[in-house]
Structure formats: structure tokens, C-alpha cells
Amino acid sequence: MIKRLAKYTLLILILGGIALAIYGWHLSVQVEKRFSTRRWSIPSTVYSDTTLLYPGQRMNSSLFSATLSNLGYRRVNSVPSQKGEIRIRTQALDIFLNDLKTPWTERTGFLAQIDFSEDRIGTIRRKDNGETIPILELEPEEIMQFFGQERERRQLISIEQIPEHQIQAVLAAEDHRFFEHHGVDWRGILRAMMTNLRHGAVRQGGSTLTQQLAKNYFLTPERTFIRKLKELILAVIIEFRYGKREILEIYLNEIYLGQKGSVAINGIGEASYFYFGKPVKRLTLSEAATIAGLIKAPNNYSPYRNMARCQSRRDKVLQAMHRWEWITQTELEDALKQPINAVGFKAADKKAPYFIDYLTEQLNSLYRSEDLSSLGLSIYTTLDTQVQMAAEEALTKGLAGLESSNPELQRTAPEDKLQGAVVVMQPKTGHILALAGGRNYSVSQFNRITQARRQPGSAFKPIVYLSSLAQFTPTTLLSNDPKSYTVNGKQWDPQNFEPVTEYTVSLQDALKKSHNLATVDLAMKTGLDRVVDIAAKFHFSTPLKPYPSLALGAFEVIPLELARAYCVFAAEGVQPFPLSLKGVVDENDRILEHQHLNIERIIPPAEAFIMNSMLQGVVKEGTARSLQWRGVTWPVAGKTGTTNDFRDAWFVGYTPDILALVWVGFDNGDPIKATGAAAALPIWADLMNAIPQYRSETQFNIPRGVEKILVCPVTGRPAVDGCPEPVEVYFLTGHTPGGHCPLHAEDGIAGKIIKGVRGLINDD
């Protein structure tokens, strides 16, 4: 009986051993598979464009200060001694630059001094050698991350980047015998059991770092005997297959160390920036002990939750480091005296959310959403955060001002409120510097810049006038008389916005003052089919039909496409593709995507210049002349737009370097009871006044194929001595009006009258 029992027992042990060996082999395969492939899902990070600073550049001090704050620069009262510190002085800024690394440039941080003269940068120079710097580039700003379900932030670091006192602090806090055991510390387990029995509660754990790593990587947090057994087996396997420093490196990149809103902070690398705003290698002994102390219960010991508990926990870690002879008595005393100066944080608001949505659309054509949330890509965009802040502020202020001045525009429900949208672009590159697709993203995610279809009204007229340049000139006379037109068997009677007394106007004056009747007359003389054909070159995706009402912007367009159309004028006849993405870099700094400029010649440079000249007239003397008393005194071209019943208000304005479109209206089409000049133009002016770094005194380039002639303002023909106040007008070469002014020449009517009057005077 005993022999049989022993035989069965031996058999059970053998089978159990075999089963355990098979299970261990299975776990070993899991460990190898996980550790030999991608160990973590790293969210891809989206960055703004870099910020360029140069002598002579105008500055908006409040927006510049916001940029420095968003980049994590910290103000100090003495000369900055560490990267990320700034000192603000009267008319000067000392800044210890952070390192800069993008796909196109790399620079180590250094101490610089920026001198200011009123609202301009005076000089920029290095503090170490006094060398002047022609252009200084600030690092891009983090805009958002593409998180997966885990929503973890992690900045991977190698063990070589971690200072010895940080490693020792972690070991002192969690596993001081790490380099002595083989994954399981039986002595530690027994000590923890005795402590817990003595106190009648769980006061101490016996898990090693390797066991913690096994639990975090492969197991659930449930507390059961089976899970604990798996943890022990996994820890032994991990120790058998990998070296101590490699295990430690994985652990230090994996460990959970706190919470930023809904996002988990994992790893020493990320925690170092989250709590102290610096890389791990620059952590002091006190700071290293603080982070190590968080491992036990990050949200309980966080300096952002309870500073007293945090400091007490740090002190215990420091004392443990001294007990294990990793720091001296002097080092202990000095570190204990140090205050815990956490840099502070605020839960990240969504930055430029409408821009990010548009960017995501472009990225989705290149990457799967699961790749964006796991591959750790660095995504560099065209966004200028200062322009974005200015656009959002100008839009908010402008819409609130309209509601305040006209209570009929006020709505109670947030989703019914007056809306607006702004896009800012570089016309030559298509780079989108800012995009606000609505008033409040949390209320409505509908992007009115890229998704809305609205009638452009008079903002479409430049396309009509461009279409006529092959047949007519800026001084061609048009009929401003009321006329009726038949469209699909129905009579259509267009009207001017305001009653006029000029029944014949020049082409340039018709555009300048936005005369509807003269514009329709021009479209009919040019040919509606030609207007549609020219408009098609501008890549409007909405259908345009050859109806007379086309001339007045009766057909819907997408605002971004209208802004892109105006880029053609500003960019000397070429049209760019609207870009939000500049480049994508993988976690090994390899460039995966580099967006090249995609531009297309639409019209000759000479025609673009003629349009610029006439649209400058709109700003100087036409419907947009109020810009001048709103502080816009530099060369600007643009056009207002207002649709029937005041449903839409537009202003598109541009210089050779920057273009912005503003739209205001209700989503449901209710009238806003204001014109483009009254509703959209003030928002545009506030935006441009807030970004003086983009203000340019540059005139539009005069290309070949353009002639400037002095003409009579009455007849539009080349002026003679008798013409009153002749004006300079640009014409396409070969399209200049012939002869001379027939009215004021000697043999003209006015000339004969003057000659007769002179004769009577002489007779007397």
C-alpha cells in the first residue's frame, strides 16, 4: 500500500513537473515574443511648426510669452543656468534654449540674449561668445498625441541615460537586493510575511522589480494564488533569459508614475519631465528620490496631490539610500533640505482641434489609426501656435461683439449660436498656419472651413473679373443699369446692394465698390461658359452652372477652397494644395513622409497682378476701406462678400506672404443682419494686428507683361493735359486703351468748351 502510494505520488510529481515544464516553456515563449518585438505601444506625437526669431521682427509680447510657457520654459530671477530657463529684463530676454531636433535641423541648447526695441527684436546673440545670430529657431510645440485604449504617455530612455543615483533611489525604494536575487527574493518574502503578521494587515510586499515587471507586462492586477504563482514563474524566466541591466531598463520605462488628466504617466523618462520639466540625466538626488518614492502609490504621494506626503516619502527613500551606503551623510542632509519644486501642470486642453481634425484626414490616407496610436511617430505640422491663438481670440471676440451690438443675433442654445470660421495660409506654399472651424469645438465638431458649403456672394466676383481680362481692361466701361434676365423660364432682377447714381462705371470701380448690376453685365459680356471654365481651373469641388446669378456668388463653395482660390492671386498665378502636414519621422528618426510643395500654374503672373491691383483698390477706396482705420495700413488686397438676406458674411484678405479668410453666419441660414465689411472684416483686422511678425510692407511684385499708364478717371483713356486728376492704372501688355482721352483733348467736347471760354475771355 505504501509502495503504491509512493509510486502514485512519484508519478504525480513527475507529471506535475512535466506540466510545469511545459507551462514554463509556454510562458518563456510569451516572454521572448513580447520582449523581442515592440515592447510598448507608443502614441504618435503631433508638433506645431518651429518659431523663427530674427532682428527687426515685430512681436506680440503676450503671444510670444504664451509660446514660451507652452514650450515649458521656466522663469528665473538670475542668469539662466539650465536648459529651459528664462530671465525677463527691461527690453531684453535671457533664454537658455532647449535642444532642438526636427527632421530638418538639429541644435544643442545654449544661452542666448534677445534685445527688444519697442515691439521689435533688436539683436540676438550668444551669451558665451557674444556672437550675433541672424535667425533663432525655437523648438516645435507639442499639440496632441494619438492615444490607444491605454492612453499612456511614455518617453523611452536607455539605461545609459539614467544617472546612478536615480537607479539607486529606485532600488532603495523597491528592491535593494535586485542585483543579488534571481527574480524572486525569498528573504524579502519571509520578511514581508513576518511584518504583515505582526501588524495583522498587509503593510509590506515582497515582490521584486522583476516580479513587478512580470505583473505589469503579462498579468492582470487581480490578487489570487494562481496569479501570484504565474508571477513567480515569469520572474524566474525573465531573469534566466535577460541580464539585470536590461531588466532594469525595461522596468524603468514601464513603471506607472502618475496621472495627467485621463492620460497615464509611465516610465522614468516621462515622469522626469512631468514633475520637474527636465530630462532624467539632469535630475538632482532629491528629485530622483521623489520620483522613486512615487512607485509605491503614485497618486497618493504625488506632489500635485499632497506635498507633505510626497516629501515624507522622499525622505524615507533618501534614508534608505543612506542605510545601504549609496549616499553619504552629507549628501543625505543636503538632499533632505531641498524643497520639492515640481514644475506644475494643467490638464491639456485640446489645441487647434479643427486643425487636428483636418490633419487627421490627411494622415488617415497614409497610416492606419492603430499605427498612429502605437508606432511612436513624430508628426510635424504647419501650425503656427501664435497665429492659431490669435485667430481663435479674434473669432471669439468678433462674434461676441456682433451679438452684443445686435441682441437679435443672440441664441440661448449653444448649438444654435452665431458661428464663424477662420483659416490662415501661406499663399505660396499652401501651409495652413491656423484653422478655426467654429466657435466652440466642444459644442460642435463640424468644421465649417473644410466641410461647410456656403454661398460666397461678392467674394466670388474676382473670378468673374479675372475671366474678363482677355477681352476687357480695368478701365472698360460697364452698364450699371437695372436689367432683367431669364433663367430656366423665370425672370431674375438683380439689384445693387445700395442705390447708385452711376449708371456707367469702369470695370475696376465696379469691383472696388462691388456693384452687382455691373458685375452681371460683365459676366454676360464675357460669357457665362467662360466664367465657369475659368472657375473650374481653381479646383472648386462644388458644381458651378452658367447662370447669370453665378456672377454674384449664388452657388455654394467650401471655404477652404475659396481661400485656396485667392492664393492664386497672392502667389503670382500658382495654386498650392492646402497642407497641414510637413513631415513624419519614426521612433528611430527616419523620415517616413516629407510633404513636398504641390503647386500648379493656374493663370499668368501678369493676370494675377492685375487682380491684385484691383483688389487693393477694394481695400483703399472700396467696400473694405474701413481696414485703414482699424490699423491695417500696410499693402493688402482683399474682397468682402455678403449673400442674399445677409445669410453669409465674408472677408478674404492677403499680402504676398499671408492670406486669411473669415466667414460669419448661422448654421441654419438665419440672417446675421450685417455685411462682410461689418461682420467678417473686423475679425480679420483683429487677427492681423495680433500677428505683427507676418505684417509685410512688401508690395506685390510687378511681373513682365504689365504696363502702367496715366488715364483719365472719366473716360478711362490715356490722360491728356486737360484731364482732371488722372490716375495710374495697370494693364496687360497689348491690352492698353488706344488713343487719348476724347473728352479732354483739344478737339474733344471739353476741349472745345475750354477753348471757347478762353476765346470769350480774350475778346473781352
Q: What residues are annotated to the active site?
A: 174, 458
Centroid of chain to Cα 397: 20
The DSSP call for residue 238 is H
For residues 616 and 467, the answer to whether their CB atoms sit within 8 Å is no
Ramachandran quadrant class, 317 (left: phi over 0; alpha: psi -120 to 50; beta: rest): alpha
Please tell me the distance from the alpha carbon of residue 474 to that of residue 336, in angstroms, as a whole number.
Answer: 80
Q: Parallel, antiparallel, or unpaired: how do β-strands 44-47 and 378-381 relate?
A: parallel
> If 0-12 CB within 10 Å is exposed, 13-18 middle and 19+ buried, where does residue 584 land?
buried
What cell does 51 get? 518659431
Report the C-alpha gap between 100 and 246 in whole angstroms: 29
Q: Which amino acid is at 669?
A: G
Give the span between the Cα atoms of 537 and 551, in whole angstroms: 16
CA distance 619 to 607: 19
Q: How far is CA 715 from CA 710, 711, 730, 732, in A?
A: 12, 8, 15, 18
Please name the residues in contact with 668: beta carbons below 8 A apart, sequence gap of 6 or more. 416
Identity of residue 555? F
Q: d(Cα 611, Cα 607) in Å, to the nearest integer?
A: 6
Instruction: Give the sign of the dihedral formed by CA 268, CA 273, CA 274, CA 280.
Output: positive
Do 344 and 361 contact (CB within 8 A), yes or no? Answer: no
Cell match 471669439: residue? Answer: 396
Residues, the chain, total?
A: 764
**328 burial level (CB within 10 Å; 0-12, 13-18, 19+):** exposed
- At 55, list the grid cell: 532682428
At residue 187's C-alpha, the angle toward residues 185 and 191, to 5°, is 120
**Residue whose C-alpha is closest to residue 708's, from 571, 613, 597:** 613
What CA–CA distance (Å, rounded) separates 520 from 515?
A: 9
Half-sphere exposure of 700 (CA within 13 A, CB side): 32
Angle at 250 (CA atoms; ends 248, 254), nearest 5 degrees = 115
Q: Which distant-in-sequence residues (6+ apart) come within 8 Å of 535 by Cβ?
A: 463, 467, 544
Going by C-alpha positions, the residue among 460, 514, 439 that lies closest to residue 664 is 439
DSSP conformation letters of 30-52 = HHHHHHHS--S-BPEEEE---EE
